[in-house]
Structure 1
Amino acid sequence: MKKIFLDKGHGGTDPGAQGNGLVEKDINYLIGEHTKWYLNKYYSGFQLMESRPGNETVFLQERTDMANAWGADVFLSIHVNSGGGTGFESFIYNGTVTNEDIALQNIAHAEILSTMNNYGFIRDRGKKVANFHVLRESRMPAVLTENLFIDDVNDAAKLKDKDGFLQDVGHAHARALAQFLGLPDAKYDIVIGYFPGSQIDKSFDQAQAAFPNWSMSVKKR
């Protein structure tokens, strides 16, 4: 069972970057929620821990302490950039790293950038290294993503698309994690029962039309 530590950057009293009517902590949260949903929907064989389930204030040391104590297999930190640029970039630690760190960054960078480009050209700012706390102090492969610039008007327009762009970017983070960890696809059991004359809510329209007295539902294993 693989352990995923999902770090939604900032939160609580720490808003992160702000611009164009957006607050970074809120965007990080939404991307993280979409990441979590996609993992739970399409993959199995993992456990997930979050640095902040909601809008809690969680200090950097607390985030890495949680991941390290839990024995996470991967650490993913989600952020949005600022400072006058545009585009997407990813980071791993600028000190000693493993081949797994490099592989994680390569997979995440390619998957996320490819997904973003479905919404128009996104500048690839590159795969970078930095002395960020969450990368330095985590004792497992770790990557930090910077998902566009909150203070750029064009980037911000995409970041405001909660049900399109942010959802797909979150899903891309999930696919990257699944690929890196080799997670198996989720398996579902079809539960069928016979209830003569019943009026049970139908989940499978075509099957139910052919067999109106059968009740069918899906349960994840």
Structure 2
Amino acid sequence: MKLYLDPGHGGSDPGAGGNGLKEKDITLDIALRIRSILTNDYENAVVRLSRTTDVYKSLSQRTNDANSWGADYFLSIHCNAFNGSARGYEDYIYSGLSGSSTTAKYQKIIHAEVIKVNQLIDRGRKSANFHVLRESTMPALLTENGFIDHGHDGSLMKSSSWRQKVAQGHVNGLAKAFSLKRKQGDSGTIYKIIAGSFKSKENADERATFLHSKGIESFVYAATISGERWYRVQAGAFANRDNAEQRLAKVKQAGIKDAFITVEGEP
């Protein structure tokens, strides 16, 4: 399955804003996590992103790229805003399609999986005449992952663990819609690449931002180590040790010489 993944906005177009957040940053973070989960955990999943950094891409550039690549599915990631008074999750397919279309069937499956995990009010499955939905030649979905200017939704968006859950929800839906098979792991063992541990969350966020600038997806999570709270930067998790070693080498080449691998679930 060839997935064209489109983090909304970027560069000079920040998208919606609120609670100290910019839509372009949230959408890119979620999209990179979706790519990481899909390519690490599933067979025959190829992912292409409209952008992997904070750059501007026109709507036509996005759909033209997806169409020429021959994607099987177009997934656009967004956040909403409405004067701080609205909240919740909704998604859209092209308004020119019927409710019995393949695109609508995929929407129903993915919507159900995202709602299971995102802790947001369900605003329903909708349709619209958005460019990326209309001009893409493959089935397409645009997801609005909460209202960035609402207190509840915005506070969730600030959490890296929440963004990871949202990414996982999208992947769960894609896996069901396209009957993707999980890769065979090694007895449940997971190899995680740790690209830094910090007492300061700001320092951890800076490290994650640096890695993103190098094209390496990562996220920050809180961990209790020897009774103290630390913020760790994780730059990948793999069921295969060789794949983990390759990612570790890439992280070290980017300048993070003290990165290392942790092993969880060893028999």
Same fold (TM over 0.5): yes
**Kindly, what percent of the aligned residue pairs are identical?**
43
Match of 1:150 in 2: 148
The size of the alignment, in residue pairs, is 189
CA distance in 1, matches of 2:114, 2:185: 27
Match of 2:154, SS state, is helix
Match of 2:94 in 1: 93
Match of 1:40 in 2: 39
How far does the alpha carbon of each residue in 1:59-114 deviate from its partner, in whole angstroms, 9 at most, with x for none? 00000001101110000000000013100001000013562101111011111111
CA distance in 1, matches of 2:72, 2:175: 12
2:241 aligned with 1:218: yes
2:175 aligned with 1:174: no
Q: TM-score, normalised by structure 2?
A: 0.67
Structure 2: where are the runs of 5+ without partners? 192-239, 244-267
Please tell me whether Structure 1 or Structure 2 has the larger radius of gyration of its CA atoms: 1
Match of 2:162 in 1: 165
**2:7 maps to amino acid:** K
**1:53 Cα deviation (Å)?**
1.2
**1:187 Cα deviation (Å)?**
3.2
CA distance in 1, matches of 2:113, 2:186: 30
CA distance in 1, matches of 2:112, 2:58: 29
Match of 1:114 in 2: 116
**1:70 maps to amino acid:** W
Structure 1: where are the runs of 5+ without partners? 191-202, 204-216
Q: TM-score, normalised by structure 1?
A: 0.81
Match of 1:185, SS state, is coil
CA distance in 1, matches of 2:16, 2:97: 29
CA distance in 2, matches of 1:218, 1:153: 41
CA distance in 1, matches of 2:124, 2:148: 18
CA distance in 2, matches of 1:189, 1:112: 28
CA distance in 2, matches of 1:109, 1:188: 28
**1:188 Cα deviation (Å)?**
5.0
**8 Å CA contact retained: 2:103, 2:140:** yes
Residues 1-221 of structure 1 mapped to structure 2, 5 A cutoff = 2-83=1-82, 84-97=85-98, 99-117=101-119, 122-162=120-160, 164-188=161-185, 218-219=241-242
How far does the alpha carbon of each residue in 1:2-21 deviate from its partner, in whole angstroms, 9 at most, with x for none? 21100000011110000110
- Sort the Cα spacing of 1:114 and 1:189 in 2 relative to 1 into closer, same or farther, 3 A: closer
- Cα RMSD over matched residues? 1.7
Match of 2:159, SS state, is coil
